[in-house]
Amino acid sequence: MTTGIQSGSSKHTVVCRLVDGASAANGKPSEAAVFSAVGVEAPLLDRKGPTYASIRIYNPAGTGVVTVDYARLWVGQADPTDPGDAAGKWFPAGVGTDANKGKINNGAALGETSADKLRHSEVVVLPSHCDRLYAELGAITGSTVAINVDLVFARHPDFESP
């Protein structure tokens, strides 16, 4: 699959893939990059975004002890004075010290919930109050690991998946 809104979402929820099959750390978003080329467009449903969503981090594949050193959610805001979309600003979504702002799981590493299975979910508030979303992953361990990060939210009656 690719990033963005996923087809085949259930009739109750919509899945927005932020990271697809990562096997190594991806670093924080760059403000020097073309804004629309970084991260995923935030989900807006008929001009109404979800109030709450769940961020889900998991591995569909991998063996050995699977861990992710950390995960951090970033929200991006386009520069309204730049109609060419060349610039934007990125903000870590959440509280904490400078080094830990925006980190999921209170900044702790994400580990296996059972043999070869990494699963983590937590609530994200107001995920559509931005233009773009980006999930940063720290070091990933394990063999043939592929880490996905999804934002899952309730389906709005006016939303049609692709």
Higher pLDDT, 106 or 86: 106
Give yes or no for residue 22 having a pLDDT over 90: yes
**Would you state the structure tokens that stand for residue 57, as one six-digit string?**
């981090």
Structure tokens that stand for 158 in this block: 């006016």
Instruction: Give the residue among 152, 153, 150 at the shortest CA–CA distance from 2.
Output: 150
CA dihedral sign of residues 31, 37, 43, 48: positive
Residue position matching structure tokens 């805001």 = 77
Backbone angles phi, psi at 86, to 5 degrees: -85, -15
User: Is pLDDT larger for residue 135 or for residue 77?
Assistant: 135
Length of the chain: 162
pLDDT score, position 39: 76
Compute the distance between CA of residue 115 and CA of residue 89 in angstroms, rounded to an integer: 39
Per-residue model confidence as pLDDT tens digits over 46-65: 456 677 889 999 999 888 89
Average pLDDT, the chain: 83
Global pTM reads 0.86
Q: Is the pLDDT of residue 36 over 50?
A: yes
The more confidently predicted of residues 43 and 15 is 15
Condensed to tens digits (0 to 9), the pLDDT of residues 103-151 reads 999 999 999 999 989 999 999 887 877 888 899 999 999 998 999 999 9
Residue 162 pLDDT exceeds 50: no
pLDDT for residue 2: 82
